[in-house]
């Protein structure tokens, strides 16, 4: 008997636990609106924010289906965006199909109402520079949210500061603050107003260099241009004074043309004297030496006499001269009398060639300085025997 009572006791406890788990694990599924509304002004929109909680208390994001009971009054998109189309009422329904096939819904009953009539200035401003203008535009919207084409009147609270035409064109006259009022009269005689408060201001005079530079090569030039703007925002062309902080490096003309003289740095200053101020602007320029070019080649014999070796030809910075370096592997025959070295563009003749020097070194490295010659003036070095008028050898300058 006691054994049966014990078994019954365990059975009651076990069943009780199962029932408690079932109650705890199965919650009511809920689809809720976080931002329901009762009214929506015509032509206005509203985007729903929803929350769905499943049967175990988890917040998930299932697909929500939306429906409007009267889509001519309120339309609803598949994202829950409402648009009020006409006066009336509509019920908005959101629904979710659960995993077990049941449908969870929620509804919001909304009345579409008329909106306040309004006149709107489309392009309000806060400031306007003296002597400048600004063209206003305005729209009137009726109680159904429709834009009507009504005549708009314009008025300024202070014409000594800002004037306004019948068409809404304002002009800033002097410093200060004025309120511009737009008005229209509806079909039922109601006057609708709107305002824009504007400050008329001056601006700082300024001079600017339009095309500053960082570097300039020696002997090169650069023409500056500049712009001066007065306190009314108008561009003028006053006399500009140009100055260089170091004319040994950069010179500047009275028109702003700079010329690079030597390597270094100089500050160019542009100055204008207005009726109220002395204004300046500056540009710091580094003058660099011209980039030097370098070429090379290999000597080869074109006769029965020995000639070989490499050479380098390079510009001497800040000059029009060249340096010709014959390499250590150079060797030439000493058996020829009157061997001369030339620059040429035709290795078959010394006509129109430039004589460099009589050859006195026949082995190893040595150097020639060639005055007033460009590195691209000739294509070849030419070794030529003057007494016999024959080519001994040459090297192409590459």
Q: What confidence tens digit (pLDDT) does each residue in 241-293 have?
A: 999 999 999 999 999 999 999 989 999 999 999 877 899 999 999 998 766 78
Residue range 150-166, pLDDT digits in tens: 999 999 999 999 999 99
Q: pLDDT at position 292, please?
A: 75
- CA 18 to chain CA centroid, Å, is 68
Residues 6+ apart with CB under 8 A from 114: 41, 42, 87, 143, 144
- Give the lowest-confidence range in 8-12, 347-351, 394-398: 8-12
Both tokens assigned to 22: 């079932």
Percentage above 90 pLDDT, the chain: 75
How high is the pLDDT of residue 56?
86
CB 261 within 8 A of CB 248: yes
Highest mean pLDDT among 19-28, 139-148, 287-296, 365-374: 365-374
For residues 333 and 306, is the Cβ–Cβ distance under 8 A?
Answer: yes
Beta-bridge partners for 200: 128, 176
Which is more confidently placed, 71 or 1? 71
Q: pTM to 2 decimals?
A: 0.48
What are the tens digits of pLDDT across the range 340-350? 999 999 999 99
DSSP reduced 3-state for 15: helix
In order of their start, the domains of the chain are 30-113 (2.60.40.1080), 118-201 (2.60.40.1080), 206-288 (2.60.40.1080), 294-396 (2.60.40)
State pLDDT tens for residues 202-244: 888 899 999 999 999 888 999 999 999 888 788 888 999 999 9
Q: What is the pLDDT of residue 13?
A: 45
Alpha-carbon dihedral sign for residues 13, 18, 24, 27? negative
Residue with tokens 């300085």: 369
Q: What is the pLDDT of residues 325-337, one digit of tens each?
A: 999 999 999 988 8
Using DSSP's 3-state secondary structure scheme, residue 134 falls into strand
2 pLDDT above the threshold of 70: no
HSE (CB half, 13 Å, CA atoms) of 383? 28
Mean pLDDT (the chain) is: 90
Q: What is the pLDDT of residue 28?
A: 87
């Amino acid at each position: 008997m006691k054994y049966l009572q014990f078994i019954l006791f365990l059975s009651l406890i076990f069943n009780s636990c199962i029932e408690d788990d079932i109650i705890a694990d199965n919650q009511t599924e809920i689809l809720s609106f976080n931002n329901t509304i009762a009214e929506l002004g015509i032509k206005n929109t509203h985007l729903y924010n929803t929350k769905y909680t499943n049967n175990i208390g988890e917040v998930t994001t299932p697909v929500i289906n939306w429906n409007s009971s009267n889509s001519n009054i309120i339309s609803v998109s598949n994202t829950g965006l409402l648009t009020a189309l006409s006066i009336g009422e509509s019920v908005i329904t959101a629904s979710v199909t659960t995993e077990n096939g049941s449908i969870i819904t929620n509804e919001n009953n909304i009345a579409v109402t008329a909106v306040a009539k309004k006149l709107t200035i489309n392009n309000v401003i806060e400031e306007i520079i003296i002597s400048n203008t600004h063209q206003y535009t305005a729209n009137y919207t009726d109680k159904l949210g429709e834009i009507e084409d009504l005549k708009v009147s314009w008025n300024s609270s202070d014409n000594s500061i800002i004037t306004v035409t019948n068409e809404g064109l304002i002009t800033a006259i002097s410093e200060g603050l004025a309120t511009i009022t737009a008005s229209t009269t509806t079909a039922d005689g109601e006057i609708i107003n709107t305002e824009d408060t504007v400050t008329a201001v001056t601006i700082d005079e300024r001079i600017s260099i339009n095309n500053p530079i960082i570097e300039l090569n020696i002997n090169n030039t650069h023409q500056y241009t500049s712009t001066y703007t007065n306190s009314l925002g108008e561009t003028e062309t006053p006399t500009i004074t140009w100055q260089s902080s170091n004319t040994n490096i950069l010179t500047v003309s009275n028109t702003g043309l700079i010329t690079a003289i030597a390597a270094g740095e100089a500050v160019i200053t542009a100055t204008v004297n207005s009726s109220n101020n002395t204004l300046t602007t500056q540009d710091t320029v580094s003058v660099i030496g011209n980039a030097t070019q370098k070429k090379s080649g290999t000597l080869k014999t074109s006769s029965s006499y020995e000639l070989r070796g490499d050479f380098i030809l390079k510009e001497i910075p800040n000059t029009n001269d060249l340096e010709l370096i014959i390499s250590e592997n150079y060797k030439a025959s000493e058996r020829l009398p009157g061997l001369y070295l030339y620059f040429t563009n035709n290795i078959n003749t010394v006509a129109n060639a430039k004589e460099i020097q009589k050859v006195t070194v026949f082995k190893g490295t040595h150097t020639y300085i060639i005055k007033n010659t460009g590195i691209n003036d000739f294509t070849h070095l030419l070794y030529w025997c003057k007494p016999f008028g024959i080519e001994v050898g040459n090297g192409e300058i590459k």
